[in-house]
Structure 1
Amino acid sequence: MPDTANGHCVVAIAQMAPVWLDRRATLSKMAGRIREAGESGVRLLAFGEGVLPGYPFWLEHTDGARFESSLQKGLFSHYVDQAVDIAAGDLGELRAAAREAGVWVMAGCIERDRSRGYSVFASLVTIDDDGEVRNVHRKLMPTHEERLVWSAGDGAGLRTLDFDGFRLGGLNCWENWMPLARSALYSQGEDLHVAVWPGNLHNTETITPFIAREGRSFALSACSLLRREDIPGNAPHADMLRDTLPPVCANGGSCIAGPDGEWIVPPRVDDEVLLIAEIDRARVREERQNFDPFGHYSRPDVLELQVDRRRRSGVVISR
């Protein structure tokens, strides 16, 4: 059993296909992975971007930008209905599983905030081992066709958390290419970074070791799967989507790199799997000897970053 007091910790990635566009069934599947991780001694378990209830793969293949399309309106309506309302308790099953298993969880969720109407966000939710929601980071900028269904987030969730002696943070998908978003986490002492992706090797194989090497941190890239057979029969327009979407929309690519940028767990594709690794905080200290991005190698007299962490609502109501 790893000794977290001495800087050792077991982390894992649950590479899985959601029960696509079905929140309740996907929650149950994720809870099962959390329990499995707990039985394996895992302390932190990461899931892919938007795994709950699923990434909007239909947009690229069904003329998603067509204005006033009844097909697109219907799919969006279902997507919002299956999104996660945290305030309403939709994450209760995950929170209970995390508490019972003694596992921290970082999971990509399509989040609906009722104060913002019927718009949704691609959010990275962090739940601690007491089952408490510790952070909700809404993706700053949806990428390309994602903007047809996801709203732009804000900086409220650009935070790091103390976790078993590490400083834990994370970003959604292409946010990991944003230098200032990464820097916002590095500046808070991040040394364990979780990057969540919808899934595909081409997303993770180059940037994961880069982030690890740049931040001199451990980097986990968590991905999902979606194959034609993963589209459930009760999904809206299921037959049409099976005919229209490619055989494989997401092939995984989950992986873990160390603070030197070398693989601890190389990218894994095509199968549902729990990828487990033991990490040692001493490796961060060793690699920070010659480069510490917001320590001895920074120049705060020359370069300064400002981060606005207010939760934006678009309205200020005065009494």
Structure 2
Amino acid sequence: MKTNQYVRTAVIQAAPIIMDREKTLNKALDLIKEAKNEQAEIVVFPEAFIPAYPRGLSFGYLVGSRTMEGRNDFLRYYKNAVPVPGDTTEKLGEAARKAGIYLVIGVTEIDTEKNNNTLYCTILYFGPDGRLLDKHQKLKPTGSERLIWGEGDGSTLSVVNTPHGKLGGLICWENYMPLARTAMYQKGVSLYVAPTADARSVWQSTIRHIALEGRCYVLSCNQFVTKDMYPDDLEYYHELQNQPNIMCSGGSAIVNPMGEYVVEPVYNKEEMLLADLNMDLVIKGKMDFDVVGHYDRTDVFQLKINENE
């Protein structure tokens, strides 16, 4: 596939309407329209944007015990999760078709094909024709995330072919898994999405390293969330009492294949980060370093990937 030299990308740093799938969907649809008005061709949303990344909530879990009140909060989260495929994905696909974009969005997924009641932290990829092209389920939820999300498998290590290059990525701290990153590089990713919930300054070191290591563009996308955005009728709302007013400060950014910022990190507000990316820089960067090409030593190191379910 011939690669178009330039592509306009939009990284959406925004907050969901927490625990409300339909209102968050409507917000996403409005933001997609705004991105289209800015001539974006690839639009990226944060990790677990629909219905929320449930930062600060325990769902009543303690080692050796659970509470019915916590189960009530979990049920609310579950009922606002996204069946894939389903009505929500149809509406997102239609929005992508109308805008003529590649849409990347993080959701908490109910995997209708697996026919279980486990939730997954998932990236969905839609094409400009409106089709759901692929998805990636987080392989290893981090810390207490394991109490609400199951583990994905190798069958969703996804890369999507676009006229601009191969589009794919990993979610949040999956990006600290060297072999997972290598799997993405082996698939030829040049537009690497990193939806995250990590607003720490050290996260910036991570995305700049990935850009340099993979000689790819990195589109890192986070939410901006304040405590007053949480519904106050949650059973465990009191757990937020000692949380800071800004629950997640953002830090979304775009980095080029030389590890330099195209758009520097944005904090403490909702914002759409726009950039025109020169895809020729991917090849220029690989002149002296191609981690799965001339800088590879498969005679010494080998990676075996199980892409079965």
TM-score using structure 2 length:
0.94
Query: In the alignment, what sits opposite 1:275?
Result: 273
1:241 is displaced (CA, Å) by 5.5
Q: Which residue of structure 2 lines up, in the alignment, with residue 25 of structure 1?
A: 23
- 2:16 touches 2:24 (CA, 8 Å); kept in 1? yes
- Matches of 1:23 and 1:105 in 2, distance apart? 18
Q: How far 1:244 sits from its partner (Å)?
A: 5.1
Q: Which runs of 5+ in 2 are unaligned?
A: none
For 1:47, the aligned partner's letter is F
In structure 2, what residue type is equivalent to 1:262? E
Q: Who is 1:317 aligned against?
A: none
Whether 2:176 is the aligned partner of 1:182: answer no
Distance 1:147 1:238, change over 3 A: closer
What TM-score comes out, normalization by structure 1 length? 0.91
**For the structure 1 residues 241 and 225, does the alpha-carbon distance in structure 2 shift closer, same or farther, using more than 3 Å as the test?**
farther
Q: Aligned pairs, how many? A: 306
1:159 Cα deviation after fit: 2.3
Is the contact made by 1:56 and 1:146 (CA closer than 8 Å) also made in structure 2? Answer: no
Partner of 1:301: 299
Alignment correspondent of 2:199:
200
Q: CA deviation at 1:38?
A: 0.8
Q: Distance in 2 between matches of 1:268 and 1:149?
A: 29
In the other structure, the counterpart of 1:82 is 80
Structure 2 letter corresponding to 1:215: G
2:216 equivalent to 1:217: yes
Tell me what 1:95 maps to. Answer: 93
Query: Residue 110 of structure 1 corresponds to which residue in structure 2?
Result: 108
User: Counterparts of 1:118 and 1:146 in 2: how far apart (Å)?
Assistant: 16
Counterpart contact for 2:57–2:240, Cα < 8 Å: no
Tell me which moved more, 179-188 or 160-169.
160-169
**Equivalents in 2 of 1:286, 1:262: separation in Å?**
14
**2:170 corresponds to which residue?**
171
Deviation at 1:203, TM superposition (A): 5.7
1:211 CA drift (Å): 0.5
Output aligned runs, 1:32-47, within 5 Å.
32-47=30-45
* Aligned amino acid, residue 277 of structure 1: A
What is the aligned-residue RMSD (CA, Å)? 1.8
Aligned pairs for 1:190-269 (under 5 A) are 190-202=189-201, 204-232=203-231, 236-237=234-235, 240=238, 243=241, 245-269=243-267
CA distance in structure 2 between the partners assigned to 1:113 and 1:189 by the alignment: 27
How far apart, CA to CA, are the structure 1 residues paired with 2:274 and 2:238?
37
Provide runs of 4+ in structure 1 moved above 6 Å: none
Structure 1 residues 282 and 177, CA gap change in structure 2 (3 angstroms): same
Partner amino acid, structure 1, of 2:141? P
The 5-angstrom pairing of residues 149-168 of structure 1 reads 149-168=148-167
